[in-house]
Amino acid sequence: MSGKGHRISRRNFMVAAAAVPLVAIRTRPAQAAEFEYKLATGQSLSQPINIRLDQAVKRIKDASGGRLEIKFFPASQLGSDTDLLTQIRSGGVDFLNIAGSVLSTVAPVAGIANVGFAFSDYGQVWHAMDGDLGKLIASQIEKTGALVMAKPADNTFRQISSFAKPIKTPADLAGYRIRVPVSPIFTSLFKSLGANPTSINFNELYTALQTHLVDGQENGLVTIEAGKIYEVQKYISETNHIWDPFFILGNRRSVKALPDDLQALVRKEFDQAAMEQRADTAKLNLTLKDQLVAKGITFEVSDKEAFRKELSAAGFYKEWRGKFGEDNWKILEAAAGALA
């Protein structure tokens, strides 16, 4: 970036976000909440999704006149992603922000948004996720017992990071030990590319990289920066190999226990948080590359078409077309274009 006035640092972004005024007015004196709920996330404290969810729960408390208080537990305070996925279904937590990739372990069709190299840009992503593909995924999630409380937020396009060597072509992944989230389609993708993928929860990732249990990992730039992955990696290959959503979920019993007006309030505020997070992430994506270069990361250009051809030759698209079903695959292709 050429001018300092155009740079957006994470620190300045967080200060600005935290300064957003709350417009709701408390309507009755402070007292014990009628409903006390828990919201959990596995994301790092500085990620935009946590900043916006923290603001949302404060707005909910104020706008409800203190009737509903949602206590916020970010950064895996209540357990790993897989732990939290169990808790949202059992009622151990009442609300949860979770990546679609992790959610696919209990709602397999949620993984259809993770098909490798399906989306070329955010125009395709939001057309799909705010349209028929998003509706399809939400309907499958709700069959697990959880409720989808808002539009999907942005867990971003993912890039491959590495320590010993840059990853530019599929040949560079031969035998490569790469961390992936606990998600079947991620494991399948990297096996199809010749790598040796290992599923590790995010809260254990930094240590796995530091001790060289794995050689590299893949995540969006927002997550790489927030999780300080740059401290234990040297290269980032800009592959955009997968886009991943965030879903804000509610425990069905907890949500249904709320009066209609509080249910509507929660949905409204969580939906606002998701839309604000999308905008925040778009702004950060413009500046994070420069920030990571300044912290010692070397960026590499990858041959995306070579990766996609390798997946096709390995039968990746054929396999997942069969698993998701022809009708669901057509919904994906209607937004992303033909995949073969």
User: Closest by alpha carbon to 167, among 295, 294, 304?
Assistant: 304
Q: What is the DSSP letter of 145?
A: T
Q: Does 58 share its domain with 123?
A: yes
Asked if pLDDT for residue 15 goes beyond 80, the answer is no
Asked if pLDDT for residue 3 goes beyond 70, the answer is no
Q: Does 71 share its domain with 169?
A: no
Q: Does 75 share its domain with 20?
A: yes
Work out the pLDDT band at 190, boundaries 50, 70, 90: very high
CATH number for position 208: 3.40.190.170
Asked if pLDDT for residue 335 goes beyond 50, the answer is yes
Asked if pLDDT for residue 203 goes beyond 50, the answer is yes
Query: What value does the mean pLDDT take over residues 100-109?
Result: 95
Residue 269 identity (one-letter amino acid): E
Spatial CB neighbours of 316, under 8 Å, sequence gap ≥ 6: 116, 188, 189, 192
Q: Which two tokens stand for residue 230?
A: 């740059």
pLDDT, residue 340, reads: 84
Q: Does 204 share its domain with 149?
A: no
pLDDT, residue 23, reads: 42
- pLDDT tens figures, 138-170: 999 999 999 999 999 999 999 999 999 999 999
Residue 109, SS3 per DSSP: helix
Phi, psi of 106 (to 5 degrees): -115, -20
pLDDT, residue 32, reads: 87
pLDDT, residue 24, reads: 43
Q: Does 265 share its domain with 185?
A: no
> Mean pLDDT for the chain?
92
The answer to the question of residue 112 being in a domain is no
Other C-beta atoms lying within 10 Å of the C-beta of residue 198: 15
The answer to the question of residue 1 being in a domain is no
Beta carbons of 229 and 209 less than 8 angstroms apart:
yes
Q: Does 208 share its domain with 129?
A: no
User: Closest by alpha carbon to 46, among 338, 281, 238, 330?
Assistant: 281
Q: What is the DSSP letter of 131?
A: T
The answer to the question of residue 308 being in a domain is yes
Q: Does 205 share its domain with 87?
A: no
Residue 9, SS3 per DSSP: coil
The answer to the question of residue 59 being in a domain is yes
Q: Does 84 share its domain with 206?
A: no
Bridge partners of 250, per DSSP, are 95, 147
Q: Which domain holds residue 299?
A: 159-242+293-336
The answer to the question of residue 265 being in a domain is yes
Q: Does 72 share its domain with 130?
A: yes
Asked if pLDDT for residue 289 goes beyond 90, the answer is yes
The domain total for the chain is 2
pLDDT, residue 170, reads: 97
Residue 4 identity (one-letter amino acid): K
Q: How far is the C-alpha of 30 from the C-alpha of 9, rounded, in Å?
A: 37
The answer to the question of residue 269 being in a domain is yes
Query: What value does the mean pLDDT take over residues 38-50?
Result: 95
Asked if pLDDT for residue 299 goes beyond 50, the answer is yes
Q: Does 54 share its domain with 29?
A: yes
The answer to the question of residue 3 being in a domain is no
Asked if pLDDT for residue 6 goes beyond 80, the answer is no
Beta carbons of 41 and 223 less than 8 angstroms apart:
no
**Beta strands 177-180 and 196-199: pairing type?**
parallel
Asked if pLDDT for residue 30 goes beyond 60, the answer is no
Query: What value does the mean pLDDT take over residues 236-261?
Result: 98
Higher pLDDT, 4 or 216: 216
Bridge partners of 35, per DSSP, are 68
Higher pLDDT, 24 or 127: 127
The answer to the question of residue 2 being in a domain is no
Phi, psi of 44 (to 5 degrees): -60, 155
pLDDT, residue 31, reads: 67
Q: Does 81 share its domain with 137?
A: yes
Q: Does 196 share its domain with 327?
A: yes
Asked if pLDDT for residue 173 goes beyond 60, the answer is yes
